Chain A
Amino acid sequence: MIAGIDFSLLTVEIFTAALGLGLLIINLIVPGNQRSATGYLTVLGLLGILLVTLSYEGVEKTFMDGMYIIDPFATFFKRLFLVAAILVTISSLPFVKKLGYNEGDFFSLLVFATLGMMVLVSAGELITLYLGLELMTISFYILVSFKKKDAKSCEAGIKYIILSAMSSALLLYGLSLVYGLTKTTIIEQIASTLAAGTMQPLMALGIIFLLAGFGFKISLVPFHMWAPDVYEGAPTPITAFLAVASKAAALAAFVRIFLIGFPAYQEYWITLVIVLSVLTMVLGNLVAIPQTNIKRLLAYSSISQAGYLLLGIVAFSSMGIGAILFFSIIYVFTNVGAFMVVVALSTSTGSHKIEDYSGLYRRAPLLAVVMLFCLLSLAGLPPLAGFVGKLYLFIAVIEKGYIWLALLAVLMSMVSVYYYLLVVKVMFLKEPPQNSGIIKVPNGLQIAMVFSLILIIVLGIYPKPLSDLAMSVAHTFFPFSF
């Protein structure tokens, strides 16, 4: 049995786990004053693993009877998580330096959270999926409450743990019902079992529980309550990671379960997904308007972005999946870019209020310009990348005849322009407060910001190579376009 297992398929996961464990050990060996070097080591390690993923180009294999799937879809998301983890590690260097304790643990947990996401997107089976999800979430519990002397951070931690554990229990109850009704935990076999039968009430219950569980992780309205509080209280780099990578991972698993596992009940759950999507877009954008804290504003904006991402699932076509893939890349760079500005500013001023961004253009031109482009891209203004991403999503739903849904999404995008421009107005038009000096930005953070900025502009003007890649990946993952 063991002889038939090709462990080389797991190289990426094994390396990531080794990196995480290695960082823990290094933290013990290295004397206290030199531990900040572990951050650079993490960046190097993650870059190395990113190179390893290149050898998986076009590989489409399953491991242990479909328990673990290595396909272009999973590899695509793994690269995305690695890039996000690298950017987050770079932006957390100043934070960790200031923290002054447990440096190695912080980066190790970051790597383990990344490993959890990788397992989550590759899982072809419910137990593996659950384990990946929990590995990611438990690492995040600790990361969110990492500033243990800071009341807000601890409170965010306890809120996250209580609500997340509750949603995990709901998800598990759904998984147990699915297992009971199909007698298998392997997603592809679930699909073939369900294809024959009719909808049973218990199955409907299971699907609703699954939707609620995943809805929590992707922070869809009405399961979004935790997001603004946790995003505000958590250390800012972790907020960025939580907002982009954990959301993308949960969405990928959601796509795999629902599109591969339950296509037979498509007409039932699509209605629910449409309702969630509409609620999320409307509420996320409207509640963002009165926010005065930049982290809460970005939290609500990321909730509304999740609503747009759901449109790709509503489309139920390879075009929709391709649009989700394309949008998630852009989403990672724009959001991490915006959060990096927040990190840079809060390490020097210690504030997250939007009014403290006044006159940012005079105090730190680079920060203001990066923030401007990130916000405009999030709002979806051409010619930036966010516009192209939204365009693909809207085309995908219009193709299926949901014109009203696309119109609503465009309308809500316009609302979002308003609150993003409020921040821009404060940054560029207001006078800087007196006795405020020029803000120094660490070199690593500058490089990462410029990198995100260039990608946002280039992908907006010339999106073809990336969109072709996303579409071909989507086509191998989901070859039907009915």
Chain B
Amino acid sequence: MITLNHYLVLASLLFCIGLYCAIAKRNAIGILMGIELMLNAVNINLIAFNRFLVPGETTGHMFAIFVIVVAAAEVAVGLAIIINIYREKLSSAVEDFDWLKW
């Protein structure tokens, strides 16, 4: 029997993997992928809470849908900026972004 706790553990694992990916990756696109994993962990959390605690309502579903939409918009802007930098520098590795003091 799969309970709420299983889903929460799955979500927290996914969140940690995403966070590790976002911190350890050298490539800007890899970092964005890590952030996507973190957001998906949030979605699993929201849907699981909604399904197990308040099955009659849809607040959690709505929240998850909004998270997906906003994440898509965020990544669209992020990729546009990365492409712009790539044209100038021919690189998308974050170590190369060193014009400013980090």
CB atoms of A138 and B74 under 8 A apart: yes
Closest to B18 in A: A169
What's the least CB distance linking B67 to chain A, in Å?
6
CB atoms of A152 and B99 under 8 A apart: yes
Most buried by B among A130, A142, A155: A155
What's the least CB distance linking B94 to chain A, in Å?
8
CB atoms of B97 and A155 under 8 A apart: yes
Interface hit among A33-41, A170-178, A366-374, A421-429: A170-178
Most buried by A among B28, B73, B78, B81: B81
What's the least CB distance linking A230 to chain B, in Å?
9
CB atoms of A141 and B42 under 8 A apart: no
Which residue in A131, A145, A165 is a CB contact (below 8 Å) of B74? A165
CB atoms of A152 and B100 under 8 A apart: yes
CB atoms of A141 and B32 under 8 A apart: no
User: Given A130-B66, A166-B22, A232-B100: A141 and B54 within 8 A (CB)?
Assistant: no
- Residue A162 at the B interface, CB < 8 A? yes
Closest to B22 in A: A166
User: Given A169-B35, A169-B39: A179 and B46 within 8 A (CB)?
Assistant: yes
- Residue A148 at the B interface, CB < 8 A? yes
Bits for B1-36, please: 1 = Cβ < 8 Å to A, else 0: 000000010000001001100100000100110010
CB atoms of B45 and A161 under 8 A apart: no
Instruction: Give the contacts of B32-67 with A (CB-CB under 8 A).
Output: 32, 35, 38-39, 41-42, 45-46, 48-49, 53-54, 59-60, 62-63, 66-67
Describe B's contact surface by its main secondary structure: helix
Q: How long is the Cα–Cα vector from A185 to B60 in the complex, in angstroms?
A: 9
Closest to A149 in B: B88
Most buried by B among A142, A156, A157, A184: A157
Bits for A113-156, please: 1 = Cβ < 8 Å to B, else 0: 00000000000001100110010001001100100100110111
- Residue A233 at the B interface, CB < 8 A? yes
Which residue in B41, B42, B67, B77 is a CB contact (below 8 Å) of A138? B77
Which residue in A142, A155, A173, A233 is a CB contact (below 8 Å) of B77? A142
Q: How long is the Cα–Cα vector from A156 to B85 in the complex, in angstroms?
A: 11
Which residue in B22, B67, B85 is a CB contact (below 8 Å) of A172? B67
Closest to B35 in A: A165
User: Given A131-B66, A229-B102: A154 and B84 within 8 A (CB)?
Assistant: yes
CB atoms of A145 and B42 under 8 A apart: no
Contacts of A172 in B (CB 8 A): 39, 42, 67
CB atoms of A176 and B49 under 8 A apart: yes
- Residue A180 at the B interface, CB < 8 A? yes
CB atoms of A134 and B70 under 8 A apart: yes
What's the least CB distance linking A12 to chain B, in Å?
22
Instruction: Give the contacts of A436-472 with B (CB-CB under 8 A).
Output: none
Q: How long is the Cα–Cα vector from A222 to B94 in the complex, in angstroms?
A: 21
Contacts of B60 in A (CB 8 A): 179
Which residue in B19, B49, B82, B99 is a CB contact (below 8 Å) of A180? B49
CB atoms of B81 and A145 under 8 A apart: yes
Contacts of A175 in B (CB 8 A): 42, 63
What's the least CB distance linking A161 to chain B, in Å?
5
Q: How long is the Cα–Cα vector from A130 to B66 in the complex, in angstroms?
A: 9
User: Given A172-B39, A173-B38: A148 and B101 within 8 A (CB)?
Assistant: no
Closest to B39 in A: A169
What's the least CB distance linking A289 to chain B, in Å?
15
CB atoms of A127 and B66 under 8 A apart: yes
What's the least CB distance linking B31 to chain A, in Å?
5
- Residue A353 at the B interface, CB < 8 A? no
Which residue in B8, B54, B82 is a CB contact (below 8 Å) of A183? B54
Contacts of B42 in A (CB 8 A): 169, 172-173, 175-176
Closest to A205 in B: B12
CB atoms of A176 and B46 under 8 A apart: yes
CB atoms of A185 and B97 under 8 A apart: no
What's the least CB distance linking A463 to chain B, in Å?
38
Q: How long is the Cα–Cα vector from A168 to B22 in the complex, in angstroms?
A: 13
Contacts of A405 in B (CB 8 A): none
CB atoms of B81 and A157 under 8 A apart: yes
CB atoms of B100 and A233 under 8 A apart: yes
CB atoms of B77 and A161 under 8 A apart: yes
Given contacts A165-B32, A169-B19, 14 further A-B contacts (CB under 8 A): A127-B59, A127-B62, A127-B66, A130-B66, A130-B67, A131-B66, A157-B81, A158-B28, A169-B42, A172-B42, A176-B42, A176-B63, A179-B46, A229-B102
Q: List 23 A-B contacts (CB under 8 A).
A: A127-B62, A138-B73, A151-B85, A155-B97, A157-B81, A158-B81, A158-B85, A161-B81, A162-B28, A169-B18, A169-B19, A169-B35, A172-B42, A172-B67, A176-B45, A179-B46, A179-B60, A180-B45, A180-B48, A180-B53, A183-B53, A184-B59, A229-B102
The 6 lowest CB-CB distance pairs between A and B, nearest first, are A180-B49, A169-B38, A176-B45, A229-B100, A172-B42, A134-B70
